[in-house]
Amino acid sequence: MTQSLGQKAEVGGATGSMLRRIPADRRRKAIVVLVAIALMFLPLIDRNGGDIDAAANACAFAVLALGLNIVVGFAGLLDLGYAAFFAIGAYTYGILSSWQVQPMWSDFWGPFQWLGLVARIHADGVPDVVHFTVSFWLAMPICGLVAAFFGALFGAPTLRLRGDYLAIVTLGFGEIVPIVARNTPYLTNGAIGLNGAAAPKIFGYSFGVDSNPYYYLGLLMIAVLIFVSFRLQNSRVGRAWVAIREDEIAAGAMGINRTHLKLLAFAIGAAFAGMTGAFYVAKLGTATPDMFMFPVSVMILVMVVLGGMGSVYGVVLAAIILQLLQSWFLQDLTSWAHMLGHAISVAWLQKVDLVQSIELIFGIILVSMMLFRRQGLIPAVRATPALSLEQQTAHAGRGGFAVPIRGIEATKVEPKRAMLETRKLTRRYGGIIAVKDLDIVVESNTIVALIGPNGSGKTTTFNLITGMDEPSSGKILLLDQDITGLPAHKITERGIARTFQNLRLFANMTVLENILVAMHSRTTTGPLGAVLRTQQSRTEEKDAKERAIEIIEAFGNRLLPRTNQLVKELSYANRRRVEIARALASRPKVLLLDEPTAGMNPMETLELADQIRSLRGMGLTVFLIEHKLNVVNDLADKIIVLDHGEKIAEGSAEEVHSNPQVLEAYLGRKAAHA
Amino acid sequence: MSYSDVLLQQVINGVSLGAMYALLALGFTMVYGIIELINFAHFNIFMVGSFFAMWVLKLTGLIGQRVILTGFPLVGVLLLALVGVMLFCGVLGVVIERTMLRPLRNVPGTAAMITTIGVSYILFNVILLTQGAAALNYPNPMPNVFWKIAGATLHLREILVWAIALLLMVGLNVFVRRTRMGKAMQATAQDQEAARMMGIEVDSVVMLTFFLGSALAGAAGLIFGLYYNFTSYVVGYTAGLRAFTAAVLGGIGSIPGAMLGGVLIGLIESLGGQLIATRWTDVIIFTILILVLVFRPSGLLGRLVPRKS
């Protein structure tokens, strides 16, 4: 008995290991290809038109879910009015192809008639009118563009809001669009519904009311959008979205224009919805405002949540499951319940209608996924390889970075020039003056330390310089150029990088990804380049990765073995190192370090101090806040002392330490005079 | 009725609606003030409240508008329904918070908000599936007493609505300003971490906030039924969105702001319906919501809550 069990286990183990020998991504690819082939043959196996029709609708909703996944999953923006963009696309196609809008004929329409976009309709006794006959294949991208335009128009002022406010604003927008559609019957035929939108034609063959061509078109759309989603996700744009989702403020400090990128996600999502709108209306032949109300937005959200926010295959799977649940399973279940009800003569079972309970199921899915499985059916995250014992033991090295870091040298400025300067810099919070009339000059290629008791305005000064906070008055200059009031990402672009006192890493990204994000302002690949993977974008990505690895290598075996580990799995000291590496990756002229050695042991502190010194050797200017005075004395060419937001001393270590005001600030009046 | 009389009538209607919105807005604003969460479940706690109060009224033997009470029995029945529905909704709110929102309190991102949408959907559909889609006649024992003011009519039910709303709001204000727990709430709203260090049990404060907010939503549910003489599973959505707009307009996190915003939204709804067209009312209200959020996120009376970093 035990033997046979053992044998069985062995056999199972053997096939398991055989499967495991195939790399995970190839296994996944094989599954996807098999599923795709099976789906392509579905209409041949299942000859029931109703089933194929349901499957075509499922395709449309899968595309919508993929679009919303970019907004909610990739960029982390909760959009509760997504159906509004679906509606905009649907009505745009409806107007471009139906009998709904028929202006008077005039010569203006002549050229359009020649292009085949409109037809001249003649009837005896009445003036000629225009009939729009824009081809589906032309209209679909137009619908996408129109929806994207509205997405941008609406998003531009609202995307600056906090995430939860955005949710409610999108909810409002989602309400407004169907109401406007209902109240403008001239364009939409109101609640009655659009009049006869044309079916797509290809080489003279009209799709008509047959479901099969729509099903194949739907599959094609899903395939294209899966491709686009993956290309976007693994690109400069996708990384910037994750960074915004993880920590908006840090994303700004990495040189990411947050409003711009959120708008991009919003517009791309809207474009997907708009194109699906065209598809859906062409298939149905009509559109009514009820098709785009709040429950539709929620349904698409449920698909994204069920599949896993950010998980491309997950949302497609979830969309299909939920659509089939609605159009097949619940009906079957209902009839089984009725049969059971008759069999055991229970009255309510004979009348129960489970199809109506679909929204209840949606609610339960939302709550239980959030409580028990937030990553969704198919999680978007991947496992990280474990470290060997050798890789885990790190030795404190001395002497700083052995090899100069590319890009840092390139930004070299002639020494002893006023690199960073503040003039009468002031920040008030209500009655409190956090920074007052501060004049600082940081000369190029030097290390300047900013010290002072807690609450003396050091971090506020850093925040003002890096655009995280706006000065009440005063000026900030970088190489004599005024940078006061510029947004954080512009300041990073100009060449100031920083680390944060409390660490603001993107915890759910790998070390490598964190560093790649920081190169945002030094790279240019946009969404189009990312999707098409142009020559330029490929070279750029390759170069960025090489540079990132170089920077990681500079930290030796502290970081190199952990390149592909998630940052949240790192030790505190290693996170500090990643922050510095990340700041270096943006190729700064000035590096602002806010307590870089906090939480490090004495050996690690010395190691880091050497590294900072070697950065100066490469031509970088360093401005740091530090509490460990031995580090400051050892490193700094100049020390600036703040107390109550004012500069009380400035000079070399000896000068500062003998300054009575400094002693008073640090030790109190009595001690200073003792 | 002259045009000015019509407008006066609309002001009376608007203030009544506004009183209801204000009660509902208080729940949004209190929860947002304490844990920075937009609670979509609040929409349908209100709706469930209107159903629960209806059942209580029916249990006392009221049928539609046929049974009219006066004097002590009228006050007694209404008080019973009010206290009953407030307790029921308060407990419902606490149960939702305790079982579904507390585990997500420290999860970053949109998880908690998505959960409240799910809860809202569950409440909505449970009522739809068990009570049906048709609007139900609401038991209302109030005699049809009214006064003529200029050309407009002021009904007893309007005075009653104002009285309940005013009483609850004054009570809430006194509670928050004067009592120990009220002060704990204020402290938690300002800085949760600091409040915890001062020995305040933040969990109890959050539960209390949900209890009070949901109880007020329950009261608003009763008021809705008495004012319109009907209730239905859909009433939570529209009223909830308007009340949320009211909270934002007044300044989210601000209790007087929610009251002011409620009355303003009520007036905008009734006067806007009169002066423009009822079918555009929702568009007007949502446009206000969007404009306030974009141009003055702190609302009319709100303090700008420091961004949590």
CATH number at residue B60: 1.10.3470
Q: How confident is the model at residue A673 (pLDDT cuts 50, 70, 90)?
A: low
DSSP, collapsed to helix, strand or coil, labels residue A437 as strand
Mutate to test the interface with A, among B290, B298, B304, B305 (most CBs of A within 10 A): B290
Query: Nearest-CA distance from A300 to chain B in Å?
Result: 13
The structure tokens listed for A491 are: 């300041």
Higher pLDDT, A426 or B295: A426
Interface contact A365-B125, CB threshold 8 A: no
pLDDT of residue A345: 82
Q: Which structural domain, as residue segments, surrounds residue B128?
A: 3-295
Q: How confident is the model at residue A18 (pLDDT cuts 50, 70, 90)?
A: low
pLDDT of residue A474: 93
Calculate the average pLDDT of chain A: 85
Q: Which of B113, B124, B290 is closest, CB to CB, to A172? A: B290
DSSP, collapsed to helix, strand or coil, labels residue B271 as helix
Interface contact A370-B117, CB threshold 8 A: no
Q: If you average pLDDT over residues A149-166, what whole number do you get?
A: 82
Q: If you average pLDDT over residues A395-412, what whole number do you get?
A: 72
pLDDT of residue A7: 45
pLDDT of residue B18: 92
pLDDT of residue A502: 85
pLDDT of residue A4: 45
| CA-based nearest residue in chain A for residue B113 | A164
Q: Which of A180, A365, A367 is closest, CB to CB, to B283? A: A180
Answer yes or no: is pLDDT of A395 > 80. no
Do A353 and B129 touch, CB atoms closer than 8 A?
Answer: no
B304 falls within a domain: no
Q: Which of B117, B129, B280 is closest, CB to CB, to A360? A: B129
Write the CATH number of the domain with boundaries A409-495+587-673. Answer: 3.40.50.300
pLDDT of residue A461: 93
**CA A540/CA A410 separation, integer angstroms:** 17
Answer yes or no: is pLDDT of A442 > 90. yes
| Distances A511 to A102, A125, A574, B83 between C-alpha atoms, Å | 59, 75, 10, 57
Interface contact B114-A294, CB threshold 8 A: no
Q: If you average pLDDT over residues B283-290, what whole number do you get?
A: 85
Q: How confident is the model at residue A158 (pLDDT cuts 50, 70, 90)?
A: confident
| Distances B115 to A307, B31, B104 between C-alpha atoms, Å | 16, 15, 9
Higher pLDDT, B116 or A326: B116
Ranked by mean pLDDT, the top range of A174-183, A223-232, A346-355, A591-600 is A223-232
Inter-chain CB pairs, A–B, below 8 Å = 116
Q: Which of B121, B237, B280 is closest, CB to CB, to A183? A: B280
Q: In degrees to the nearest 10, what's the CA dihedral of B118, B121, B122, B124?
A: 160
Residues of A with CB under 8 A from a CB of B: 72, 76, 78, 80, 157-158, 160-165, 167-169, 171-173, 175-176, 179-180, 182-183, 245, 249, 294, 298, 301, 305, 356-357, 359-360, 362-367, 370-371, 374
B305 falls within a domain: no
Non-local CB neighbours of B56 within 8 Å, separated by 6+ positions: B80, B81, B84, B85
Query: Nearest-CA distance from A614 to chain B in Å?
Result: 33
Sole residue written with tokens 């209500």: A430
Interface contact A176-B279, CB threshold 8 A: no
The total domain count for chain B is 1
Helix and strand totals (H; E) in chain A: 29, 14
Q: If you average pLDDT over residues A220-233, what whole number do you get?
A: 93
Q: What angle do helix axes A294-307 and A312-324 make, rounded to 10 degrees?
A: 130
Q: How confident is the model at residue A165 (pLDDT cuts 50, 70, 90)?
A: confident
Query: Nearest-CA distance from B140 to chain A in Å?
Result: 31
Answer yes or no: is pLDDT of A669 > 90. no
What is the pTM for the complete model shown?
Answer: 0.87
pLDDT of residue B190: 84
Residue ranges of the alpha helices (H) in A420-522?
A: 458-465, 488-494, 511-518
Q: What angle do helix axes B3-35 and B156-178 make, rounded to 10 degrees?
A: 30
| Partner A contacted by B132 (CB < 8 A) | no
Q: Which of B111, B121, B307 is closest, CB to CB, to A370? A: B111
End-to-end Cα distance, chain A? 88
B300 falls within a domain: no
Non-local CB neighbours of A533 within 8 Å, separated by 6+ positions: A231
Do B237 and A294 touch, CB atoms closer than 8 A?
Answer: yes
Q: How confident is the model at residue B1 (pLDDT cuts 50, 70, 90)?
A: low
Q: If you average pLDDT over residues A636-663, what whole number do you get?
A: 88
pLDDT of residue A262: 92
- For chain A, the domains span 48-291, 409-495+587-673, 507-575
Q: Cβ atoms within 10 A of the Cβ of A512, count?
A: 19
pLDDT of residue A579: 92
Higher pLDDT, A483 or A415: A483
The structure tokens listed for A413 are: 């400025």
Quick: pLDDT tens for A298-337: 999 999 999 999 899 999 999 989 988 887 788 888 888 8
Question: Taking the CA of residue A372 as centre, how many other CA atoms within 13 Å lie in the half-sphere pointing to its CB?
Answer: 9
Answer yes or no: is pLDDT of A549 > 50. yes
Ordered DSSP codes for A309-376: TT-HHHHHHHHHHHHHIIIIIHHHHHHHHHHHHHHTT-HHHHH--GGGGHHHHHHHHHHHHHHH-TT-
pLDDT of residue A1: 40
Question: Taking the CA of residue A53 as centre, how many other CA atoms within 13 Å lie in the half-sphere pointing to its CB?
Answer: 9
Longest dimension (CA), chain A: 111
B116 falls within a domain: yes
Query: Nearest-CA distance from B133 to chain A in Å?
Result: 11
pLDDT of residue A86: 95
Strand residues in A598-645 grouped as ranges (E): 621-625, 638-643
Give the strand order in the sheet containing A646-651. A496-498, A590-594, A621-625, A447-451, A638-643, A646-651
Q: How confident is the model at residue A32 (pLDDT cuts 50, 70, 90)?
A: confident
Ranking A123-127, B234-238, B249-253 by mean pLDDT, the lowest is: A123-127
Q: Which of A173, A183, A374 is closest, CB to CB, to B279? A: A183
| Partner A contacted by B104 (CB < 8 A) | yes
Do A401 and A614 touch, CB atoms closer than 8 A?
Answer: yes
pLDDT of residue B308: 37
B13 falls within a domain: yes
| Partner A contacted by B248 (CB < 8 A) | yes
Q: If you average pLDDT over residues B152-176, what whole number do you get?
A: 89
Answer yes or no: is pLDDT of A383 > 60. no
Q: If you average pLDDT over residues A593-606, what whole number do you get?
A: 88
Burial A641-659 (b: 16+ CB within 10 A, else e): bbbbbebbbbeebeebbeb
Interface contact A359-B121, CB threshold 8 A: yes
pLDDT of residue A3: 45
Quick: pLDDT tens for B168-202: 989 998 998 899 998 999 888 888 888 888 889 89
B142 falls within a domain: yes
Query: Nearest-CA distance from A91 to chain B in Å?
Result: 19
Do A264 and A70 touch, CB atoms closer than 8 A?
Answer: no
Backbone angles phi, psi at B289, to 5 degrees: -55, -50
Do A427 and A404 touch, CB atoms closer than 8 A?
Answer: no
pLDDT of residue A391: 62
Q: If you average pLDDT over residues A100-126, what whole number do you get?
A: 80
pLDDT of residue B307: 40
Q: Which of A80, A157, A168 is closest, CB to CB, to B294? A: A157
Answer yes or no: is pLDDT of A457 > 50. yes
| Partner A contacted by B159 (CB < 8 A) | no
Quick: pLDDT tens for B24-47: 999 899 998 888 889 999 999 999
Quick: pLDDT tens for A492-524: 999 999 999 888 999 888 999 999 999 998 888
Q: If you average pLDDT over residues B116-139, what whole number do you get?
A: 92
